[in-house]
A = this chain, B = another copy of it.
Amino acid sequence: LIMNHVNDETGMVAVIIPAAGEGRRFGAGQPKQLTDLCGWPILAHTLSRFDQTVAVDRVVLTVPYGRIKQVREEVVEPYGFTKPCVVIEGGKTRQESVYEGFLALEEDVDLIVVHDGVRPLVRPSTIESVIAEAREHGAAIAAVPVRDTLKRVRDGVIQTTLPRDEIWQAQTPQAFLRPILAEAMAAAWREGFQGTDEAALVERTGHPVRVYHGTADNIKITSPEDLVLAEALIGATAEGNHH
């Protein structure tokens, strides 16, 4: 079903990859999405996963101010990716960057995927599944059930333990039919709402967002420890994109 995705009945599928953070605290003097991971920049791994995904037609990368040329030369061009990839400058926040990406989409795109630039281990099968869910239901994200015990804390004192069995950790990809994301972004701008993901914007509009049970290895690289883990995971699966 998913592998037979064809683009003549439905519109094009584009992925917006916000990668505009300068990530200066990560060290090494360059944005963390350009940091080396097993021989490739992190962002090139991410791009590769979407390049391998049949259901994805196009890619929009949003990068830090002044980095377009560098990202083209170091991420987009060297690895033989085949899907069209537009590189633009992002905004000051993730939400602004996704909006900039949205403005760069052609009119024939009717389904939009958003994916963190620093989640390089996402599986193409996860991307396909989230797209299929969004195609059917309008909005879907990858997520995993939390394993930790979570507490609501105020002024250094536990208020309550959260009911773990209903709580999921949101990941990306997150996918939306175009009018649903457009309406959600417009409402967020109008009302000054900043979300930590795109689903939060859509939830506010009342449109149901489906959850696809992803995999725990789809980690977000935000610290040097995460980078070490990502290296180990790539080594362990022996599914590297290269070699």
Contacts and interface: CB of A to CB of B under 8 A. Distances in A.
Interface of A: 141, 143, 146-154, 156-162, 164, 166-170, 195-197, 199-200, 203, 208-211, 216-217, 222-225, 228-229, 232-233, 236
A168 B143 contact: no
Nearest to A137: B157
Contact of A200 (B143, B149, B153): B149
A211 B158 contact: yes
Contacts of A164: 196
Contacts of A195: 161
A150 B149 contact: no
A28 to B, nearest CB: 15
A18 to B, nearest CB: 14
B169 A153 contact: no
Nearest to A143: B151
A156 B229 contact: no
A181 B236 CA distance: 42
A26 to B, nearest CB: 14
Given A164-B196, A167-B162, A211 B157 contact: yes
B228 A223 contact: no
Contacts of A156: 210-211
Nearest to A219: B225
Contacts of A143: 151, 153
A120 B222 CA distance: 23
Given A150-B169, A162-B162, A229-B232, 14 more contacts: A148-B170, A151-B211, A152-B168, A153-B166, A153-B211, A158-B209, A158-B210, A162-B167, A216-B223, A224-B236, A225-B232, A228-B229, A228-B236, A232-B232
Contacts of A161: 170, 195-197, 199-200, 203
A218 to B, nearest CB: 12
Contacts of A228: 229, 232-233, 236
B147 A168 contact: no
B233 A197 contact: no
Contact of A229 (B153, B197, B211, B229): B229
A157 B216 contact: no
A32 to B, nearest CB: 14
A228 B157 CA distance: 33
